[in-house]
Amino acid sequence: MSEATTAKCPCAYCDTHLEFPVEAAGSVVDCPACAQPTELYVPATGTLAPEAELTAEQILRAFRGSVPKTKVSLLYQLGLVVVAVTMALLPVIYVGMILAAGWCVHFWATHFDFLLKFGGSGRAYIVKLALYVAPLFAGCVLVLFMIKPIFARRPRHAQPLAVNPEVDPLLYNFVRKVCETVGAPMPKRIDIDCQLNASAGFRRGFLSLFGHDLVLTIGLPLVAGLNMQQFAGVLAHEFGHFSQGFGMRLTFIIRRINGWFGRVAYERDAWDEWLEEWAAESEGWVAFIVMTAQVAVWFSRVMLKLLMYTGHLIGCFMLRQMEYDADSYEIKVVGSACSEATSRRIHVLGKVAERAYKAMRVPWNLSKKLPDDFPAYLMRHDEAVSSAKRTTWEDSMGLDPTGLFDTHPSNGDRIRRARQAGEPGVFSLTAPARGGVREPRGGLQASHATALRG
């Protein structure tokens, strides 16, 4: 078929790429690979049309005063302290487990050395030697594999781009005004990346823990897909975290410890591959000894996961409360109705992003090409979504309940909180957010590719 008259899109269930006539776009067919119904659509191309740039006067005029701080009870703060202390004790418990394992290895080596004494037939001595060496070797491997995660380096991630305040003063002025509205400190740096998310954190990790050295990271797909009021609500939520001060610092400790346990429990490195290859190539008694070592490593991973889930369960309740507090700032700034609309919009954009990522695999697999402007690419996919599909996505967003191990409340719970608040909001400007953020095209195209590959 000719490229001009056909298009390709991935199956929504199995990712099989379906080729079809362009006039069939919008119809639903059964996938020939998995037999599931999937909607045909033409993958997006092109760039976004430029929006009229907003002025600082337009943006500032849309604010109608500040909002009161969300009161946090003393019991809640004490709860955060208890959770943070408990989380800090988990690594101490892990170190204690390493010391206990080391003591067991030493005990075996010094108290069961009688197995090395020669006696009986040669076959019997080999059996006794294996019985001595196997637990000793497995114990040493266990201790090494338990120590290794302590020194494991964090994996590299795509580096976001820092926004120059001289290049985009409008964004900095807007961010400063939202900070003033919620009573939060101004971040020292604003970064942008290609994630459908925004986040607030300490710029240098633990080195910035006791100051106001904060960084705000904004995902450009949010800027492309939201209006200014919705975008202000997202920022107010992040600055709600900034304004929590004490709670934000304790949350940082909880998240870092949880993240460390999760990373070392599931990541594999060259040591794991070496042990697996050795086990595959070994035979006889050597295979038995290596298999014993593998069982010991498996046991160490089980201990790590047990500590990880314990910490996750302890911390998740408090983390969800922190999210509710941050939501309260969003609701106060943009109003309950806009907060709900933002939740629905981001949920739909998430579904669109899944579709966009699947479609990107076609050119990537064929020619290793990725979109130069991912936000524009995402918006083209958003425009291609039928109204019926969009309604289905929105209607299903509140069906998932909040789980015990969820760090964020479910969409349904957040919307219910917003409706109960009944806030009118103090900011209303529905112009597209792209008019308030100037994308640094020169260096951003390479960053899109780097982030998407990562």
Report pLDDT digits (tens) over 299-333.
878 888 888 888 888 888 888 888 899 999 999 99
Instruction: Please tell me what DSSP assigns to residue 433.
Output: G
> What is the arithmetic mean of pLDDT over 224-240?
94
Distance from C-alpha of 132 to C-alpha of 149, rounded to nearest angstrom: 27
CB 224 within 8 Å of CB 378 = yes
Distance from C-alpha of 417 to C-alpha of 406, rounded to nearest angstrom: 17
pLDDT for residue 385: 87
pLDDT 10s digits, 74-93: 777 787 788 878 888 888 88
Enumerate the H helices of 63-154 as residue ranges.
74-111, 122-147
In this prediction, residue 1 has a pLDDT band, given cuts at 50, 70 and 90, of very low
Query: Which tokens go with 403?
Result: 């789980």
Higher pLDDT, 13 or 167: 167
pLDDT for residue 341: 95
Instruction: Express as a percent the part of the chain with pLDDT over 70.
Output: 89
- Element at 389 (helix H, strand E): helix 387-396
Q: Is the pLDDT of residue 442 over 60?
A: no
Higher pLDDT, 277 or 353: 353
> What is the arithmetic mean of pLDDT over 421-435?
90
> What is the arithmetic mean of pLDDT over 39-52?
61
CB 137 within 8 Å of CB 144 = no
> What is the arithmetic mean of pLDDT over 131-151?
82
- Neighbouring residues of 57: CB distance < 8 A, sequence distance ≥ 6: none
Instruction: Please tell me what DSSP assigns to residue 190.
Output: E
pTM: 0.75
> What is the arithmetic mean of pLDDT over 58-63?
90
pLDDT for residue 450: 47
CB 220 within 8 Å of CB 194 = yes
The DSSP result for 306-346, as a single string, is HHHHHHHHHHHHHHHHHHHHHHHHHHHHH-HHHHHHHHHHH
CB 224 within 8 Å of CB 376 = yes
CB 27 within 8 Å of CB 145 = no
pLDDT 10s digits, 115-127: 777 666 667 777 7
In this prediction, residue 452 has a pLDDT band, given cuts at 50, 70 and 90, of very low
> What is the arithmetic mean of pLDDT over 337-366?
88
Query: Which tokens go with 329?
Result: 């700032």
Distance from C-alpha of 115 to C-alpha of 128, rounded to nearest angstrom: 5
> What is the arithmetic mean of pLDDT over 212-222?
88
Higher pLDDT, 286 or 409: 409
> What is the arithmetic mean of pLDDT over 161-172?
86
Determine how many CB atoms are found less than 10 A away from the CB of residue 316: 20
Instruction: Express as a percent the part of the chain with pLDDT over 90.
Output: 21
Distance from C-alpha of 212 to C-alpha of 187, rounded to nearest angstrom: 8
